[in-house]
């Protein structure tokens, strides 16, 4: 049996059954699907001998078979290979989308902030993004960052509150939790807009598998697609802070949201 022959939904079912047996209604609720979609897929997994059903208290409890446990162990290896391939091929497109969505102009001053992460892929993304933004603003512009980086047109600042008032044209946040303090600080240093980069959804099988695997192996390291806020979370938080004029661009599971300051 090859894991990639299964659909993502069938892999979701295997993940749900990884830790404990579950009956049909539990799976329907946890996976948020109809019975018409669930049961044919359970039947296929049974036919492949990846799961088995045992009747108890007038319910059929499904669990991973011995073969299913073995095959489930191959999932993370397969996903790792997929993500590495996708990351290499699509990183350039993701970065181009982000930079284009920022609508940068030559001579602008941009403040770029991110969480202090140690994941090598995330660090690579952040550095490449800074490089591309600095190329856009060129000699007459400036990129302000919170970490020491030796790049043209890039200035290191220790804290956002140390930036002089109204010196920045645009503030951009990657993998930063939005709170009232950040918004107040941005309103002080930004003349035109604040931009937040986030993910459209976190309900995908690959995200869940990597999150679970990394939590067990190395909890402090998060995979590259667990970035920023979900769209719904962002809208809710911005509304609480009185910000409703938001411009959205989205592509490939991520979005760039810009709050236009009046």
54 and 120: one domain?
Answer: no
Please report whether residue 80 resides in a domain.
no
Distance CA 139, CA 212 (A): 45
Q: Which range marks the domain in which residue 14 is found?
A: 3-64
121 and 224: one domain?
Answer: yes
- Of the pLDDT bands very low, low, confident and very high (cuts 50, 70, 90), residue 256 is confident
**Residue range 198-231, pLDDT digits in tens:** 766 644 444 455 455 545 555 554 444 444 556 7
Contact between 247 and 257 (Cβ < 8 Å): yes
State whether residue 199 is helix, strand or coil. strand
**Residue range 33-92, pLDDT digits in tens:** 899 999 999 999 999 999 999 998 889 999 999 888 887 767 656 655 555 555 555 667
What's the pTM value of the predicted model, to 2 decimals?
A: 0.55
Our count of domains for the chain comes to: 2
- Give buried/exposed letters for 41-78 (b at 16+ CB in 10 A, else e): bbeebeebebbbbeeeeeeebbbbbeebeebbeebbee
101 and 37: one domain?
Answer: no
Distance CA 59, CA 88 (A): 46
- Asked which of 64, 96, 111 is the last residue of a domain, the reply is 64
Contact between 118 and 221 (Cβ < 8 Å): yes
137 and 183: one domain?
Answer: yes
Domain harbouring 105, CATH code:
3.40.50.150
105 and 44: one domain?
Answer: no
112 and 242: one domain?
Answer: yes
112 and 201: one domain?
Answer: yes
50 and 163: one domain?
Answer: no
């Amino acid at each position: 049996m090859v894991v990639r022959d299964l659909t993502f939904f069938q892999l979701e079912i295997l993940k749900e059954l990884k830790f404990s047996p579950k009956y049909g209604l539990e799976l329907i609720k946890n996976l948020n699907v109809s019975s018409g979609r669930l049961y044919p897929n359970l039947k296929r997994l049974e036919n492949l001998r990846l799961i088995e059903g045992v009747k108890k208290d007038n319910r059929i409890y499904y669990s991973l078979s011995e073969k299913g446990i073995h095959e489930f162990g191959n999932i993370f290896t397969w996903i790792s290979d997929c993500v590495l391939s996708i990351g290499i091929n699509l990183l350039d497109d993701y970065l181009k989308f982000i930079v284009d969505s920022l609508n940068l102009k030559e001579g602008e001053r941009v403040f770029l902030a991110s969480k202090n992460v140690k994941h090598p892929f995330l660090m690579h993304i952040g550095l490449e993004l800074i490089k591309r933004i600095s190329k856009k603003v060129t000699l007459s512009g400036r990129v302000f960052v919170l970490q020491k980086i030796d790049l043209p047109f890039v200035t290191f600042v220790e804290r956002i509150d140390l930036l002089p008032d109204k010196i920045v044209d645009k503030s951009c946040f990657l993998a930063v939790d939005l709170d009232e303090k950040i918004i107040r600080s941005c309103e002080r240093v930004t003349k035109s807009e604040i931009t937040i980069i986030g993910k459209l959804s976190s309900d995908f099988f690959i995200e869940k598998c990597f999150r679970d695997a990394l939590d067990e192996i190395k909890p402090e390291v998060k995979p590259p697609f667990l970035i920023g806020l979900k769209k719904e979370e962002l809208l809710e938080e911005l509304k609480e802070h009185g910000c409703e004029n938001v411009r959205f661009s989205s592509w490939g599971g991520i979005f760039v949201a810009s709050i236009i300051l009046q």
